[in-house]
Every structure is written in C-alpha cells, then in structure tokens.
Homo-oligomer: A and B are copies of this chain.
Amino acid sequence: MNKGYCHIYTGNGKGKTTAAIGLIVRALGHNKKVVIIQFMKDDKNYGEFKYLHDKILFLQMGRNEFVNYENPEDIDIELAKKALIKAKEIIQSAKYDLVILDEINVAIMFSLIDEQAVMDIMKSKPESLELILTGRGATKKMMEIADLVTEMKEIKHYFSKGILGRKGVEY
C-alpha cells in the first residue's frame, strides 16, 4: 500500500478547491474511494456538486449564507464542529483513499473550529490516506506538519474588475 500524504492548498488566488476537485477526478480514474466534506458551504448548484454528488460521498456541511467572520453565528460554529466530527469519523474509518476537507483552513481562521483539533486529525490519519485541506489562511503550524503546501497566489483576478462569480467557472 502506498503511503498517503497531507496536502494544503492555501493563498488568496483562484484554484484551491478546483485543484482538490481535480485530485478527485484523478483518483476516480484509478478507482479510488473518495470523500469531500465542504465546510461553510451548502449550495447544490455548484457544478462540482451537481457532477460528482452521485459518484462520490459529497457532503456540504455548512449553510448557504456567508459566515460573518468577525462575529460568527452559533449555527455556523455548530455546523463546522459537526463537519469536523464527521471528518474525523470518516478518516478514522480507513475506508477511503482520498479525503478532501474543503475550506477547512477558513473555518479555523474564522475560529469556528480549533486548529489543534485539525492538527490532531492530520497527525493521526491512516498511513495510506491522502488528505487534502483547502482554503485561504492556513496556519503556520498546519503548514509545518503537512507534507505538501501550495500557495495559490493571486497575480491578477477579474474579480478586482468587479466581475461576479459565474456559473460553471466559480461555482
């Protein structure tokens, strides 16, 4: 059995969640078992959800509202904590080859969940599991224990010209 690694995709540029989705496709091409848990998201209209929800275990465990990061609501904290418990359960079941925790870095940055609890999951994951954490604001400590870290750095983005997210590209 191959050793699995822990990846972090962070930074302010476009391409973090999409890179994770790309890894899902690559894994499916080799008949691997995949789960994605999305923190702070609940929107069935995302292209990746529409396309993958009947092919992998695809869990959206937030709600379809922006989290107020300065003063998150109780419901957001509760949902993120539930998502983390679910993540832990899934990871420890050792039934999957690839687990994506999408936007989990942001959930930590917004203080919805504890950095230490996530680090414990990273450290105690099954040997062969590939574990992917996405979202801006990954902490230094998390990056230290990850095996691979890519910073998606925004050089230029059409959002800065006032363009809004578009169906099939941003969601």
Contacts and interface: CB of A to CB of B under 8 A. Distances in A.
A84 interface: no
Given A32-B168, A147-B156, A156-B143, A18 B11 contact: no
A168 B30 contact: yes
Contacts of A13: 150-152
Given A14-B150, A148-B158, A150-B14, A169 B19 contact: no
Nearest to A150: B13
Interface in A132-171: 143, 146-158, 163, 166-169, 171
A155 B147 contact: no
A90 interface: no
> How many chain copies?
2
B21 A47 contact: no
Nearest to A26: B47
Contacts of A146: 156
Q: Which of A15, A46, A52, A167 has the most CB of B within 10 A?
A: A15
Q: Is the interface of A mostly helix, strand, loop or mixed?
A: mixed
B152 A15 contact: yes
A48 B29 CA distance: 6
Interface residues on A, range: 35 or more
A75 interface: no
A103 to B, nearest CB: 14
15 contacts: A5-B158, A13-B151, A14-B19, A25-B51, A27-B47, A29-B51, A30-B168, A147-B158, A149-B154, A149-B155, A150-B154, A150-B155, A151-B153, A152-B153, A153-B153
Which 4 A-B residue pairs are closest in the complex by CB-CB distance?
A: A29-B47, A18-B22, A21-B22, A26-B47
